[in-house]
């Protein structure tokens, strides 16, 4: 006799939700702790805030998405921002999340026209908001977080910017992302842009 297991169940008042995702969410702290212990040697201490962020279950509203990264070179080709950028010659990395990273890239390129942006990768993750918060926390604890400042190209105050060199460059950012993906037991699905 073949047993058929439903892939979706109806929850009262909240529409439908995949039972597999609900099961994953309910066992999340146990699975994350197991993967975390496997990834870290016994002598490697982990900051308590990072450990708490890893072990915290994802929100019921958290959805699959992608963590994207692009860097903004220190020297910009635009003439009108030359003086402002001469005062702050810092290469920045922007780390964010989106369900559709290619669409988000087009939005950024249109919004901040004239700004050179080197988009280089994104990672597909099952819980995008949780993972973005974890990566931001890691780089904030390293002291790489940059204070929000008004964009010279669009006038908006962008957040989630980090010092590119303080993050370890592209290799350092990729290493941190892959490390946390493995700690959480999620697949490493990096896509070049």
Sheet of 118-125: strand order equals 161-163, 92-98, 65-72, 118-125, 190-192
Burial of 67-76, coded b for 16+ CB within 10 Å and e otherwise, reads bbbbbbeeeb
What does the alpha-carbon distance between residue 34 and residue 55 come to, in Å, rounded to a whole number?
A: 10
Convert the pLDDT of each residue in 136-146 to its tens digit. Answer: 999 998 888 88
The domains of the chain are located at 65-192
11 or 77: which leads in pLDDT? 77
pLDDT at 50 over 90: no
- Which of these ranges, 9-13, 62-66, 115-119, 159-163, has the smallest mean pLDDT? 9-13
Nearest to 164, CA basis, from 78, 102, 56, 74: 74
Q: Identify the top-confidence range among 103-112, 141-150, 184-193.
A: 103-112
């Amino acid at each position: 006799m073949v047993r058929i297991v439903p892939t979706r169940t109806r929850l009262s008042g909240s529409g439908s939700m995949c039972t597999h995702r609900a099961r994953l969410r309910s066992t999340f702290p146990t699975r994350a702790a197991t993967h975390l212990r496997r990834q870290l040697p016994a002598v490697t201490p982990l900051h308590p805030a990072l450990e708490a962020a890893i072990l915290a279950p994802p929100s019921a509203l958290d959805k699959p998405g992608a963590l994207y990264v692009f860097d903004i070179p220190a020297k910009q080709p635009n003439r009108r921002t030359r003086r402002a950028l001469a005062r702050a010659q810092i290469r920045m990395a922007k780390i964010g999340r989106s369900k559709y990273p290619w669409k988000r890239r087009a939005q950024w390129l249109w919004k901040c026209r004239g700004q050179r942006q080197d988009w280089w990768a994104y990672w597909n993750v099952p819980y995008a908001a949780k993972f973005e918060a974890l990566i931001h926390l890691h780089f904030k604890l390293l002291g790489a977080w940059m204070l929000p400042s008004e964009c010279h190209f669009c006038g908006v105050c962008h957040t989630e910017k980090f010092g590119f060199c303080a993050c370890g460059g592209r290799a350092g950012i990729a290493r941190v992302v892959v490390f946390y993906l493995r700690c959480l037991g999620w697949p490493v699905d990096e896509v070049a842009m």
